[in-house]
Structure 1
Amino acid sequence: MDGDKSITVCNDNNDYNPFEHRKVEKPNSNVRSLANLLKASLGSGLLAMPLAFANAGWVVGIIGTIIIAFICGHCVHIFVDTSRGCCKAERKPLMSYAETCRATFANGPKAVRPYARAASIFAELSLLCTYVGVCCIFTVLIADSIKQLLDTYYPVVILPVQYYCLILLVPLSIMTQIRHLKWLAPFSLLANILLVATFGICLYYIFKDKISIEGKAMAGDISRFPAFLSTVIFAMEGIGVVMPVENVMKKPQHFLGCPSVLVIAMSFIMVLYSVLGLFGYFRYGDVLRGTITLNLPVDDWPAICAKSFIALSIFFTYPLHFFVVVDIITKYTMPHVKDKYRNVTQIGLRTFIVWFCGKS
C-alpha cells in the first residue's frame, strides 16, 4: 500500500495552472476555435447521413445519432480533461495528443509505466496514418467532384480523374503553406458556410414536394446496422484536431464546460446530422446513393451549386486535416534543420507531403 502513495495521478490537484504558462504565437478566439472544431467534424460525411438512416431505420437512426454524438463528445471531454491533468502533474503548459498518451501511462499505475514511450509512438503513428489517408481521400473526392461537373456541363475535353488530381496538387500545395490555425480558421468558416449552403439546398429538394413516411422502416435490418455505425462515427469523428485547437485557444478554459466550445459544436453537429439524415431518408428512401447530392437532379442550378459547394468545402477543409500530418512530421524533422534553412525546409516538406498524398 505504501508504494501506491508514490503514484502520481494525472488529474492530481496542485497549484500549477497550465493556462497561465502557455505562450501561443497566434492564439485563436472562441469563435475561430469553434469554426475549426466544427469543420473537423462537419464534412462530406454529413451528406451520407440519409443513407445511414436508410441502413438503420428512422427511429433507430435518430436515437443512434444522439447516442453516438454524446459518446464522441464525452470521449473528447475525457481526453482534454486528462491532458490538462497531466499538464498539472508534469508542470507543462500544454500537451499534444501523443504527449498526453505518454504522460497518462507515465503517471499511471506502475504496471503500465514502462509502456509510456510505446503509447506515444502508437498514438502518433495512428494519427499520421489516419490523416495521411484522409488527405489522400480528400484529393480524390475533390478531383472526382470537379470531373463530374466538367464532364456533365462542359464535355469538350474528357480527362481521367488522375489528371484532375495532378492539377489539384498545385492549389493544395499553396493552401497548405498556411502554418497557423488562426489563419486557417477563416477557411474553416468558409467551408462551414458552403457546407451549410449545400445542406440548405438539399433541404430545398427534400421539402420541395410532400414527404411521406409510408414504407420507411422504423428499424432496419440488423445486418445493416454496422454500416450505420461506421458512417455516423466517420462523419462525426475529429479527435486528431481537438488538441491542436484547444492548445492554441486564447481562453482554453472555455473549451470544456457548459456552455462551451465543445458542447456548442457537438450540439450543432448532432442537430444537422439528425435533420438531414431523417428527412433525406423520408424523401428518397432506399434509392439513396452514397451522398445525397448524387440524388439531386443534374439539370437544376441549385443542384449544380450544391455539387460545386461540396467540392469547395472539402478543398478548404484539406489544410485543417493536413495540419495534423505536418505537425507530427515537423516535430521530428525541424530540430535537425538549421534556423536559416527552416523556412525553405517547411515549404518543401509541406509540398512533398501534398504530392505524396496526391500520388498515393
Structure 2
Amino acid sequence: MDPESKAETLCLQPVADHAAPLHKEEDDYDPHVHRQLPKPTNNLETLVHLLKCSLGTGILAMPQAFARAGLVTGVVATVLVGALVTHCLHVLVRAQYGACKRLRVPLLSYPAAMAAALQAGPPALRRLARPSTVTVDVFLVVYQLGICCVYIVFIADNIKKVVDPQYEMSTEVHMLIILGPLIAFNLIPSLKLLAPFSALANVLTFAGLGIVVYYLVTGERSSEPLDLWGSPHTFPLFFGTILFALTAVGVVIALENNMKTPKAFGEPCGVLNVGMSIIVLLYVAIGALGYVYCVADCSDSITLDLPPGPLASSVIIMFAVAIFISYGLHCYVPVEVVWRGYLLPRLQAAGSRHLRLAEYALRVGLCLLTFVLAVAVPRLGLFISLFGALCLSALGICFPAVMEACLNVARRGPRLQLAKDALLFVVGVVGLVAGTYTALLSIVRSFQPEPVLADAHAHAHA
C-alpha cells in the first residue's frame, strides 16, 4: 500500500466515542515514543509526500487566481496566506499531539483529535465533542468529493482542447465519455493496486509542470497591461483558490503520524516548514509567470492557455492522465469514511449478506454524484474557489484554532494564545462566509445571459 494514501485513509477514518477518562498526569506520556509503525517514513520521504499532495490542479489554477487578485497583491497575499496556512497546520499537529497526551494514546485521527480537544475545553463545548467527529467527517467528505468534481471538469476541459480541432464536442459530452472509465477505476478496492498508478501520476505531474514553465518563460506573452492590485470584489475567489491549492489538511496529521522521527516534522527547519516554503515559492512562480503570460485571459487551468502544438498537447494529456489516476485515490477516502464509519456497521448489525455489493454500489453512487455535480456546474475555477473557501477555511483554520484553544484552557495556558486562536477563528469564518458567498454568486452569474451578466458587473462597480 502506498504510504501516503494509507496514512491519509487512516487519518480520515471516523472513530467512535473517544470519551475515555482524561489523565492529569499526562506529562510523563509521549505519544511519539509509543507509536509502533510497521513501515515508518523518513524525513525525505515525508517531504516528498507533502509536495505531492500540493501539486495538482490547484497550482495550474494559480495564474487565474493572480488575475483576480492582481500581480503584486497575488504575490504578497500568496506568501501571507502560505504563512497563515503553515501556522495553522502547526497548530493542528500540536493540538493532535496534545489530544494524544491527554488520552494517552499514540495516534488519533483528525475527527478523534477534535473530539478529545473539545472534551478538554469549557463545559459549554464538551457536549459538542461527539457531534464534532461527524462534522469533521462531513467537511472532509465534502472536500474530497469536491476535489473529484474539480478533477472531472479538469479532465473534460483538457481533453476537449486536444480533441476539438478534429471532433468538436461539448464539455458535458467529454464528461460522459470518461464516466465509464472513472467508475471502473473507482471500483478497484485496494490502494495497493492503485500504488503503481500513483507513481505514474507523480512522474507525469512533475514532467508536465516542467514543460509548462518552459512555455511560460519562452512563449509569446500577452500585450495587455498588467493589473497590479486587483479588486476587492474578486479577492475572496483568490482566497478560496489559494486555500484549495495550499492546504493539505487531509494528510498533514497522517504524514506526521507515520514518520520515523515525528518531532522533526514541526521543527523550525523541519519537514513542514521546508515543504511549505517550497510549495509557496512554486505557487508564486507559476501564478506570476502564468499571469504575465496571459494577463486577464487566464483560463481555469494554465494548460488551456498553451499554444496549439504537439508539445502542448502532450502536456495536456499528461495532466489529464495524472488527474484521472488521482481521481481514484481521492474518491477512495470518502468511500472509506462513509463505508467503514457509517454504512458497514449498520449493515453488519442488520445481518446483511451482500456487503461487497453494497460497497460497490456506494463507490458507483459517489462517482455518479461527482459526475452530476460537475455537469451541473462545469466551472473549474469557481469549483476550486468554492470548495477551498467552504471546506478548507473550516478544516485548515477554524477547527485547529478551536482545538488549540480548548487544550489551552485545560492546561491554563497563556491568554495571549487564546487571543491568537480567537483571531484565527474569526479569519477562518470570514474567509468561509465571504469566499463561499462570492463563489456561489459567481457560479450563478456565470449561467446568466451576457446582457444580464454585463448589467450585474456594471452595477457591482457603480
TM-score between both structures, scaled by the size of structure 1? 0.83
1:305 maps to which residue?
314
State the AA in 1 paired with 2:182: L
Q: Deviation of residue 213 (structure 1)?
A: 8.7
Residues 92/336 of structure 1: CA separation in 2 closer, same or farther (3 Å cut)? farther
2:253 maps to which residue?
243
RMSD: 3.3
Aligned residues: 344
Contact persistence 2:186–2:332 (CA under 8 A): no
1:79-138 CA deviation, whole Å, 9 max, x = no partner? 111101110110011011100110000112223112111212211122122212322332
Contact persistence 1:191–1:314 (CA under 8 A): yes
1:322 maps to which residue?
331
2:448 maps to which residue?
none
Contact persistence 1:35–1:185 (CA under 8 A): no
2:73 maps to which residue?
60
Q: Deviation of residue 42 (structure 1)?
A: 1.9
State the AA in 2 paired with 1:256: G
Instruction: Give 2:127's match in structure 1, choosing from 108, 114, 120.
Output: 114
d(CA) in 1 for partners of 2:198, 2:46: 10
2:271 maps to which residue?
261
Does residue 28 of structure 1 match 2:37? Answer: no
Q: Deviation of residue 159 (structure 1)?
A: 9.3
Contact persistence 1:27–1:249 (CA under 8 A): yes
Residues 21/260 of structure 1: CA separation in 2 closer, same or farther (3 Å cut)? same
Residues 187/264 of structure 1: CA separation in 2 closer, same or farther (3 Å cut)? farther
Q: Deviation of residue 25 (structure 1)?
A: 4.5
Instruction: Give 1:137's match in structure 2, choosing from 150, 155, 164.
Output: 150
2:237 maps to which residue?
227
Residues 350/235 of structure 1: CA separation in 2 closer, same or farther (3 Å cut)? farther
* Structure 1: gaps spanning 5 or more residues: 1-6
d(CA) in 2 for partners of 1:87, 1:318: 32
d(CA) in 2 for partners of 1:84, 1:323: 26
1:295-329 CA deviation, whole Å, 9 max, x = no partner? 1122x122011101111221232344234313322
Q: Deviation of residue 26 (structure 1)?
A: 4.5
Contact persistence 1:103–1:116 (CA under 8 A): yes
* SS of alignment partner, residue 23 of structure 1: coil
State the AA in 2 paired with 1:198: G
Instruction: Give 1:200's match in structure 2, choosing from 197, 207, 210.
Output: 210
* SS of alignment partner, residue 223 of structure 1: coil
2:293 maps to which residue?
283
* Structure 2: gaps spanning 5 or more residues: 1-20, 370-462
TM-score between both structures, scaled by the size of structure 2? 0.66
Structure ranking higher on relative contact order (CA contacts 8 Å, 6+ apart): 1
1:49 maps to which residue?
62
Residues 100/283 of structure 1: CA separation in 2 closer, same or farther (3 Å cut)? same
Q: Deviation of residue 267 (structure 1)?
A: 1.2
d(CA) in 2 for partners of 1:296, 1:358: 30
What's the % identity of the aligned pairs? 35
Instruction: Give 2:190's match in structure 1, choosing from 148, 159, 178.
Output: 178
d(CA) in 2 for partners of 1:150, 1:171: 23
Q: Deviation of residue 234 (structure 1)?
A: 1.6
Residues 75/324 of structure 1: CA separation in 2 closer, same or farther (3 Å cut)? farther
Contact persistence 1:136–1:358 (CA under 8 A): no
Contact persistence 1:143–1:168 (CA under 8 A): no
Residues 186/257 of structure 1: CA separation in 2 closer, same or farther (3 Å cut)? farther
1:152-190 CA deviation, whole Å, 9 max, x = no partner? 45779x99224323322255225x53336xx86765554
Q: Deviation of residue 143 (structure 1)?
A: 4.3
1:256-313 CA deviation, whole Å, 9 max, x = no partner? 2132222222112101110011111112111222111111122x12201110111122
d(CA) in 1 for partners of 2:31, 2:86: 23
Does residue 252 of structure 1 match 2:249? Answer: no
1:222-278 CA deviation, whole Å, 9 max, x = no partner? 222222212211222221222233323333333221322222221121011100111
1:92 maps to which residue?
105
Contact persistence 1:142–1:311 (CA under 8 A): yes
Does residue 355 of structure 1 match 2:367? Answer: no
2:93 maps to which residue?
80
d(CA) in 2 for partners of 1:259, 1:173: 38
1:48-106 CA deviation, whole Å, 9 max, x = no partner? 11111111111111100001111111111101111011101100110111001100001
